[in-house]
Amino acid sequence: MCGRYVLTLPSEAIQALLNTRNLEESVPRYNIAPTQPVLAVWEQAGRREAKLARWGLVPGWVKDPRDFPLIINARAESMAQKPAFRDALKHQRCAVPATGYYEWQTDAQGRKRPHFIAFRDGRPMIMAGLYATWTGPEGEEIDSLALVTVPANADLAGIHHRMPAFIEGETADLWLDVRNVRAAEAEKVIRPAPEGSLIAHPVSTRVNSAHNDGPDLIAPAIEDVPAPSGKDGQLDLF
């Protein structure tokens, strides 16, 4: 699962990374959380657009988003069968750029320690996503998305059993090309990151609160004992 991530790339770097025809303003964010607007890229009429979308998928067939559960991740193994994802897999695939992301490791006492995870070589991440556009009774539109997850590779299995699906280069092109690449073919590019490609380190439990932001959140933690789940805990967000 992926419940928080970091994006520090400037707009021009995102445009070059994903070959978008437009710029969407991007400021450094070190604690991006569900329900917040996030930067995503998808194709419209064969051209890539950078967009802002709510993190938490709301399919178009939902009557009232307030009555729909918060869906932030789509499991790759079942997304083709789930009503919330199967249409998006066919027609509304997207890419979400990131610098890194957070995952929480649970110890023997049930305490959760956050870790920051990034590519070992420092290159940007592109996470595979599915988006939807919900249209309200007054014609208002809400774009929203979920991140696709896969089983964790050996680098991360000791921290959590799931990880985001990363795409880049040709795999990103195939994933985003909804006009020419069928869902069954797009699914084939979704797989765990190669072993040895990721690095992780513990970080401060300050990241547990979505109100906190700043580069100190990704710095290696000094404290040894994580704060218990509670008012500011990771579980409260969901």
Domain borders along the chain are 4-237
C-alpha 33/C-alpha 232 separation (Å) is 13
Determine the length of the chain.
Answer: 238
| Burial environment of residue 192 by CB neighbours within 10 A (0 to 12, 13 to 18, 19 or more) | buried
Per the DSSP assignment, residues forming a β-bridge with 199 are 118
Enclosing H/E stretch for 160: none
Tokens representing 86?
């199967």
Count the neighbouring beta carbons within 10 Å of the beta carbon of residue 225.
10
The alpha carbon torsion through 207, 156, 170, 175 (nearest 10 deg) reads -70
**Does residue 178 carry a pLDDT above 70?**
yes
C-alpha 96/C-alpha 53 separation (Å) is 10
**Does residue 234 carry a pLDDT above 70?**
no
Average the pLDDT over 40-50 and give the result.
94
pLDDT in tens, 192-210: 999 999 999 999 999 999 9
* pTM across the whole model: 0.91
C-alpha 143/C-alpha 192 separation (Å) is 27
Let me know: does 73 contact 84? Beta carbons within 8 Å: no
Residue spans of beta strands (DSSP E) within 120-197: 125-135, 141-151, 162-164
Give the CATH fold of the 4-237 domain: hypothetical protein yedk fold (3.90.1680)
C-alpha 41/C-alpha 197 separation (Å) is 24
Given this model, what pLDDT does residue 231 score? 38
pLDDT in tens, 99-144: 999 999 998 888 999 999 999 999 999 999 999 999 988 888 999 9
